[in-house]
């Protein structure tokens, strides 16, 4: 089980990297893409989406850092922290990447576009080391165990 916890955190870290790259792509695209007389990045809806993407990325990073720290320190059961980090990072990455694809419009689903590649790649990370549903079970069972104690 300890090995699974270790790899859950690393899978979460990989998803975090994917999400960060998707945000970078969205920032670059929206800053250069013309929309009427301005840029796509000047649009309030685009700005809100970028803010949501950045917030999801930071929340994932904090959970990953905590789980990694708990692993480094040792001595505690960090199964829940690892599951929370993996679940949040992979699910958030899926949302961030989806938003980046949407922002790119038709170019976002064109083979060769970085966001299209990320969209395909993130799916596997949501399955590795236990699918999202498994992570939710681990979290819930640990919460219930803690509550009973």
Break the chain into its structural domains and give their ranges: 2-148
- How many residues belong to the chain? 149
CATH top-level class for 2-148?
A: mainly alpha
pLDDT at 147: 96
Residue matched to tokens 């899926």: 94
For 129, list phi and psi in degrees, rounded to 5: 60, 25
Q: How far apart are CA 63 and CA 13, in angstroms?
A: 10
Q: What is the mean pLDDT of the chain?
A: 94
Least confident of 12-21, 35-44, 70-79: 70-79
Does residue 1 surpass a pLDDT of 70? no
Output the pLDDT for position 128.
Answer: 86
pTM of the predicted structure, to 2 decimals: 0.93
Quick check: 87 and 139 in contact, CB under 8 A? yes
> Catalytic one among 2, 25, 129, 133?
129
- pLDDT value at residue 73: 92
- Look up 129 and say whether it is catalytic: yes
Query: 């975090």: which residue's tokens?
Result: 16
């Amino acid at each position: 089980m300890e090995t699974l916890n270790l790899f859950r955190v690393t899978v979460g870290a990989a998803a975090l990297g994917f999400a960060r790259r998707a945000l970078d792509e969205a920032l670059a695209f929206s800053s250069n893409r013309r929309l009427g007389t301005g840029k796509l990045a000047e649009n309030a809806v685009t700005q809100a989406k970028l803010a949501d993407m950045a917030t999801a990325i930071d929340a994932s990073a904090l959970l990953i850092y905590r789980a990694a720290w708990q692993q480094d320190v040792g001595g505690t059961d960090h199964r829940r922290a690892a599951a929370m980090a993996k679940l949040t990072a992979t699910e958030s990455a899926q949302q961030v990447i989806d938003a980046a694809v949407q922002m790119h419009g038709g170019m976002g689903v064109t083979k060769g576009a970085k966001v299209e590649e990320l969209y395909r790649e993130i799916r596997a990370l949501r399955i590795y080391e236990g699918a999202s549903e498994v992570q939710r079970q681990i979290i819930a069972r640990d919460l219930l165990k803690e509550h009973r104690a």
